[in-house]
Amino acid sequence: MLRVKNLTTGYDGVPVVFDVSLEINEAEFVAIVGSNGAGKTTILRTISGLLKPISGEIEFEGKQIHKLTAHEIVRLGIAHVPEGRHVFGKMSVRDNLLMGAYTLNDRAKVNRLLNEVFELFPRLKERENQKAETLSGGEQQMLAIGRALMAEPKLVLVDEMSLGLMPMMVDKVLETLKQINKEKGVTILLVEQKVQEALEMADRGYVLQTGRIVAHGTGKELLESDLVKKAYLGM
């Protein structure tokens, strides 16, 4: 579904991600794991069109997308849940969700999607009319994911959802992502510093160190690898 080929990308022509290749199949749950500053966010921003590659290619459903604008990429079915969540604090939970559906003009469909999000996240339904800024960190993360789902994406890019959340909340949000993946068939690409939690949930993973992929495999294979055990699990 998504193919990243020999991608080098960074800021103002200065690369921070070097020659990265990865593939994600339809309906897979894939994690890119690595430490703070490894370049995970930079890869996601490049996929969603917020940054342009220095070299390399990105294909989505057989079509090159790395020269398209971020808006065009959203319309193809790629939604990005950014790090730090970025919900609209002064707007209600419901209006935040409706913002996610801005590409759709079918009212009935928007209502159906809204109900689906409320089924996944009953907490958001309970707080439907509250301002988003009054939600807890975990609830805001749910809202950011819910907003992405309102665009009916085929692929959701989730950036560091664990930041600032309590461990229990991290597990809960990860489990909901898994449910979205398995029950709705939405493909998920997650980037995470919480290496163990992410690899336990993912079908496959890639390990990124200082901008380069140093290992890949199933979540289980990576968790059992010496590299991951030593570098990330303190074993």
Positions touching ligand ATP (CB under 6 A) are 11, 16, 34, 36-42, 83, 160, 193
Comparing CB distances to ligand ATP, the nearer of 120 and 198 is 198
Burial-class residue 158 by CB neighbours within 10 Å (0-12, 13-18, 19+).
buried
| 174-178: long-range contacts, CB 8 A cutoff, minimum separation 24 | 174/198, 174/201, 175/201, 176/120, 176/121, 176/142, 176/145, 177/29, 177/145, 177/201, 178/29
Q: Smallest distance from the beta carbon of 159 to ligand ATP, in angstroms?
A: 7
Q: Smallest distance from the beta carbon of 47 to ligand ATP, in angstroms?
A: 12
Comparing CB distances to ligand ATP, the nearer of 53 and 77 is 53
Token output for 234: 């303190």
Q: Smallest distance from the beta carbon of 11 to ligand ATP, in angstroms?
A: 4
Comparing CB distances to ligand ATP, the nearer of 92 and 193 is 193
Q: Smallest distance from the beta carbon of 40 to ligand ATP, in angstroms?
A: 4
